[in-house]
């Protein structure tokens, strides 16, 4: 048996009113990849914050034993000195600065107050090579993609001489190829003796890289699975996470009679708002019938969000050409208001960025896109507004003590429900759902799928954009495949498979 | 649990409590002068400008911590125009008021256009106005008078609209009208509180307990009556109080009960989400600054009437007082939260500090130091309180 590098013993962490961690135990051996899984709010991130010293020694109970000695970290610096480096879900890079500057931010090379730029960039280039990046370290962060930025974060961690690397949702904003590359890099590091802890929602990734899996539920450790001694699959992990068997990850939809074509888009071309020469969406044709769920699958950066937003009142892009028909009539939607009036709804992928007003209540968010529905001549009917919010809370089973609660205090799954409620209240005929289940846990996902089924049952059309293949396959009646701004395939649910979809993407890539 | 409740009440009314304490402090330090009828009157007449400008500033700040630095200078400029029209050209005050409002409208449109449609950062666009209008106003005044000031003392009609008292009575007599209005205000406050609670209970919403409501009613009635009594002894209701009250009530209604008002908050909270919800966010930004300019024009009437003159020093640091009133009153410096009543308390606190220090004979320079410290303390307190109750 390999040497135990880290042991967290009986960790209990209490916040005013809540026990976030309750007697959690974690043991990590040298040179392994240890996955930490659990639903949102289970306490994974809190545990890692305890480990890295963000919550200093004394604010929690229990011991951290690292390399055989009990550690009492006061700050992140303390844990980093020992070689424990955490890479957070949100990238902490300064966009206007170069890769090299970012890598040594707070850890500058040189003497005292004078930075030695040659050493900085030289060192930076060395670490960039280790993570497989060919970019020069003088390139600005804002000029490289998210996938590469994630790699820079890792290079930054390496520069701190990390022995134990903690990755919190490292692939949440990466596309499939970049994710795979990152996971392979982790396996490469493992060969060189690095120890890693990965927190992720994506169970296929867990199965792919992990040696051991610790499942956390409601602040306590449920079990630790060893991937080498027993056969581990996704269902087995889910059972641990939710405490019950989820027999079906996608709820069955009764066969709905498909109606008329609700929306049709022809020869839709969109240019980048700044680099107006660049085509972001190129000659896309699509239609969706009443009662139909149409999936758009594509990797991140394929132009899916741009397509959706350009349809939704030209809220993205420049030089938009093509025709848009709603209920068979050609329309020109100049702004989001016109789109909403045309019974179109766009449920964003970025609920915190441009979906919800986090500092306002559920009630306020619920009615924001349809103030007319709760007001008369510009004056708000507060009773009605309250009732509407309660009605949707019940309908979508949003878990909150009251609709006066600020949206920022809700979990990701519940925020997503508020966002959906907001758009359902505009009474749309066509809903474009952009990554409707991103970053939410298995239980909440299932509920979102049920809501989608309810929507189409009542004769609405749903266009679902997703980069999760199982979800697209499990939920859609028909699937469009998008790559580099173009639709490169269209499949019926019956004939579609993971292999076929990936194949059409690869073929289109080669055709160029 | 009971402890927790008390802490909650204290926190919610922290600024109100501070206001009372500061008032008591100054009353003690001035040997009771602060509590004299005359100084209640002064509190209102001297600080009316803060209430009006801070109302406009509140609307700007809600949209995302945006401010207007130009309003103080614009008061000076517009005052100069008014002085020339009425004092030099002998134009009828009604016509002069219309012209001044029109100029306010034009400036508001230009400012709103630059900020909302050309995307110039508000503090830069208004910094330009801050510099330009101070210079322009001063230049106009000095080319039209030798002293840099144009007297409006002879324009009785004009002065009567914005300054003076309603049915004025000699000092130390009780002004009956003032007391009647005070009592009516009490009745209105009590009636509205009870009706709104009854309404909440009927519909099954969360409502405050009966005892809290009673305490609230007793305290606010006592405050109103005390105020009315003091004003009655000082000669009656200052005309400007009516203007301030009307403006405060109108904007309370706009911010709390209209869709337009709602958008000011959501834009400050998340502009992009608001835009994608079909709201014309640029129009709201435009309205914020147009509104600010119009309220600045009203402030100009109030200020020139009180001084009975247009002079080049008018409006100095007004923008800072307005911003301070908002911030002390709990309006977020990042936008998205804050309300009129908080701002009123903040403005009153600034006014009390101004008045109290003048009565104590504190040097004007040190007054600024104290105001700066109070402003900083308010923000620090706000952020710390937020941290404690937040989810850490």
Can you tell me the ipTM of this complex?
0.85
CB B275 within 8 A of CB B43: no
Q: Which residue has tokens 């931010």?
A: A105
Residues A232 and A275 in one domain: no
Residues in a beta bridge with A346: A432
A137 within domain boundaries: yes
User: How does pLDDT run across A51-66, given as a tens digit for each residue?
Assistant: 988 888 888 888 899 9
| Residue B345: predicted pLDDT | 93
Cβ-Cβ contacts under 8 Å for B302 (sequence gap 6 or more) = B48, B49, B52, B162, B163, B240, B243
Instruction: Pick the closest to residue A437 from A275, A251, A211 (CA basis).
Output: A251
The strand pair at A344-347 and A430-434 is best described as parallel
Contacts of B391 in chain A (CB under 8 A): 15, 409
The alpha carbons of chain B give a radius of gyration, in whole angstroms, of 22
Last residue of a domain, one of A221, A242, A263: A242
3-state secondary structure A152-193: HHHHHHHHCCCCEEEEECCCCCCCHHHHHHHHHHHHHHHHCC
Domain that holds residue A510: 250-343+431-512
Coil, helix or strand at residue B339: coil
Mean pLDDT of all residues belonging to chain A: 87
- Interface residues of B toward A, Cβ cutoff 8 Å, are 203, 205-206, 257-260, 262, 265-266, 268-270, 272-280, 336-337, 391-392
CATH of the domain at A446: 3.40.50.300
Better pLDDT: B171 or B353: B353
Do A71 and A150 share a structural domain?
Answer: yes
**A388 neighbourhood in chain B, CB within 8 Å:** none
Mean pLDDT of chain B: 89
Predicted local confidence at residue B52, as pLDDT = 96
Task: Kindly state the percentage of chain A with pLDDT values over 90.
Answer: 36
Task: Output A284-287 pairs: Cβ under 8 A, ≥24 positions apart.
Answer: A284/A322, A284/A482, A284/A485, A284/A486, A284/A487, A285/A487, A286/A463, A286/A480, A286/A487, A287/A261, A287/A263
Q: Exposure string (b/e) for B20-58, b if CB count within 10 Å is 16 or more? A: eebbeebbeebeeebbbbebbbbbbbbbbbbbbbbbbbb
The minimal CB distance from A354 to the residues B206, B276, B392 is found for: B276
Provide the token pair at B140: 């106009």
Q: Do A346 and B278 touch (CB under 8 A)?
A: no
- What pLDDT is recorded for position A511? 45
User: CA-CA distance, B161 to B100, in Å (whole number)?
Assistant: 15
Query: How far apart (Å, rounded) are the C-alpha atoms in residues A362 and A404?
Result: 6
DSSP letters of B347-363? Answer: HHHHHHHHHHHHHHT--
Chain-chain contact of B258 with A354 (C-beta, under 8 angstroms): no
- Looking at chain A from residue 334 to 373, which residues have their Cβ under 8 Å from any Cβ of chain B? 335-337, 339-341, 346, 348, 353-360, 364, 368-369, 371-372
Domain end (from A242, A273, A301): A242
Q: Do B266 and A357 touch (CB under 8 A)?
A: yes
Residue A392 is assigned to a structural domain of this protein: no
Residue where the block lists tokens 């309205």? B287
Domain B30-168+236-380 in CATH 1.10.1740? The answer is no
- Count of helices and strands (H, E) across chain A: 16, 24
- B380: part of which helix (H) or strand (E)? helix B364-389
B80: tokens are 């100069």
Please report which confidence band the pLDDT of residue B392 belongs to, taking 50, 70 and 90 as the band edges. very low
Domain ranges of chain B: 30-168+236-380
Burial class (CB in 10 A: 0-12, 13-18, 19+), A148: buried
Percent above pLDDT 90 for chain B:
55
Residue that terminates a domain, selected from A194, A223, A242: A242
Portion of chain B with pLDDT greater than 70, in percent: 97
The domain tally of chain A equals 2
> How large is the C-alpha radius of gyration of chain A?
24
* Residue A122 covered by a domain: yes
Average pLDDT of span B20-27: 90
Torsion of CA A335, B277, B334, A409, to 10 degrees: -160
Distances (CA, A) of A70 to A5, A7, A13, A82: 12, 9, 17, 12
């Amino acid at each position: 048996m390999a040497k135990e590098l880290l042991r967290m013993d009986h960790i209990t962490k209490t916040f005013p009113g809540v026990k976030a961690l309750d007697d959690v135990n974690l043991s990590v051996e040298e040179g392994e990849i240890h996955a930490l899984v659990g639903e949102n709010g289970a306490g994974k991130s809190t545990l890692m914050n305890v480990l890295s010293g963000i919550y200093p020694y004394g604010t929690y109970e229990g011991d951290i034993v690292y390399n055989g000695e009990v550690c009492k970290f006061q700050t992140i610096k303390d844990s980093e000195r020992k070689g424990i480096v955490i890479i957070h879900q949100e990238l902490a890079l300064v966009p206007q600065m170069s890769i090299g500057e970012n890598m040594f931010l707070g850890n500058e090379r040189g003497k005292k107050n004078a930075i030695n730029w040659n050493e900085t960039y030289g060192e930076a280039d060395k670490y960039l090579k280790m993570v497989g990046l060919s970019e020069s370290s003088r390139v600005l962060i804002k000029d490289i993609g998210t996938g590469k930025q994630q790699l820079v974060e890792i290079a930054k961690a390496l520069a701190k001489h990390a022995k134990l690397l903690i990755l919190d949702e490292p692939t949440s904003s990466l596309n499939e190829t970049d994710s795979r590359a990152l996971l392979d890099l982790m396996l490469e590091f493992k060969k060189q003796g690095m120890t890693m802890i990965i927190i992720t929602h994506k169970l296929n990734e867990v199965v792919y890289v992990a040696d051991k899996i610790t499942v956390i539920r409601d602040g306590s450790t449920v079990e630790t699975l060893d991937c080498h001694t027993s056969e581990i699959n996704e269902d087995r992990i889910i059972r641990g996470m939710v405490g019950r068997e989820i027999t079906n990850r996608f709820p069955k939809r009764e066969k709905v009679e498909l109606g008329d074509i609700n929306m049709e888009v022809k020869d839709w071309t969109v240019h980048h708002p700044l680099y107006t020469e660049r085509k972001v969406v190129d000659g896309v044709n699509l239609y969706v019938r009443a009662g139909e769920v149409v999936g758009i699958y594509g990797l991140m950066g394929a132009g899916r969000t741009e397509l959706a937003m350009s349809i939704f009142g030209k809220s993205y892009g420049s030089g938009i050409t093509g025709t848009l028909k709603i209920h068979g009539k050609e329309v020109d939607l100049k702004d989001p208001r016109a789109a909403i009036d045309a019974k179109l709804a766009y449920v964003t992928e970025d609920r915190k960025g441009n979906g919800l007003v986090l500092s306002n209540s559920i009630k306020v968010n619920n009615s924001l896109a349809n103030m007319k529905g709760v007001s008369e001549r510009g004056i708000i009917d507060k009773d009605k507004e309250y009732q509407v919010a309660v009605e949707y809370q019940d309908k979508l089973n949003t878990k909150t003590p009251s609709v006066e609660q600020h949206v920022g205090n809700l979990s990701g799954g519940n925020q997503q429900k508020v966002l959906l409620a907001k758009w359902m209240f505009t009474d749309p005929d066509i809903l474009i759902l952009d990554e409707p289940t991103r970053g939410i846990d298995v239980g909440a996902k299932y509920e979102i799928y049920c809501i989608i089924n309810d929507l189409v049952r009542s004769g609405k059309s749903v266009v679902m954009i997703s980069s999760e293949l199982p979800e697209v396959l499990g939920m859609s009646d028909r699937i469009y495949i998008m790559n580099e701004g173009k639709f490169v395939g269209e499949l019926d649910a019956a004939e579609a498979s993971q292999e076929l979809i990936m194949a059409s993407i690869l073929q289109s890539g080669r055709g160029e | 649990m009971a402890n927790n409740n008390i802490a909650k009440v204290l926190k919610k009314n922290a600024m109100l409590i501070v206001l009372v304490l500061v008032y008591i402090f100054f009353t003690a330090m001035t040997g009771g002068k602060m509590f004299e009828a005359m100084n209640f009157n002064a509190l209102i007449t001297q600080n009316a400008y803060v209430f009006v400008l801070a109302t406009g500033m509140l609307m700007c700040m809600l949209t995302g911590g945006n401010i207007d630095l130009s309003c103080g200078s614009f008061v000076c400029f517009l005052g100069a125009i008014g002085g020339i029209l009425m004092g030099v050209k002998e134009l009828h005050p009604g016509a002069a008021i219309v012209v001044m409002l029109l100029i306010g409208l034009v400036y508001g449109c230009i400012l709103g256009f630059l900020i909302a449609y050309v995307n110039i950062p508000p503090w830069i666009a208004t910094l330009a106005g801050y510099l330009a209008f101070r210079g322009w106003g001063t230049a106009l005044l000095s080319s039209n008078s030798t002293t840099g000031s144009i007297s409006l003392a002879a324009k009785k009609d004009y002065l009567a609209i914005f300054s003076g008292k309603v049915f004025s009575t000699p000092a130390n007599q009780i002004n009956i009208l003032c007391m009647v209005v005070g009592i009516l205000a009490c009745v209105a406050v009590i009636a509205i509180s009870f009706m709104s609670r009854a309404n909440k209970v009927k519909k099954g919403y969360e409502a405050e307990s009966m005892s809290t409501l009673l305490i609230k009613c007793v305290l606010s009635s006592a405050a109103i009556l005390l105020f009315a009594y003091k004003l009655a002894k000082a000669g009656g209701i200052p005309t400007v109080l009516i203007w301030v009250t009307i403006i405060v009530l109108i904007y309370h209604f706009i911010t709390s009960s209209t869709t337009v008002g709602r958008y000011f908050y959501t834009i400050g909270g998340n502009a992009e989400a608001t835009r994608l919800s079909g709201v014309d966010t640029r129009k709201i930004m435009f309205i914020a600054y147009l509104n600010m300019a119009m309220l600045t024009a009203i402030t100009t009437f109030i200020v020139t009437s009180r001084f009975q003159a247009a002079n080049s020093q008018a409006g100095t640091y007004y923008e800072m007082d307005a911003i301070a009133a908002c911030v002390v009153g709990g309006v977020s410096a990042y936008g998205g939260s804050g309300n009129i009543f908080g701002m009123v308390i903040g403005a009153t606190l600034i006014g009390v500090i101004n008045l109290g220090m003048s009565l104590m004979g504190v040097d004007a320079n040190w007054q600024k130091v104290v105001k700066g410290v109070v402003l900083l303390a308010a923000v620090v307190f706000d952020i710390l309180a937020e941290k404690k109750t937040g989810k850490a």
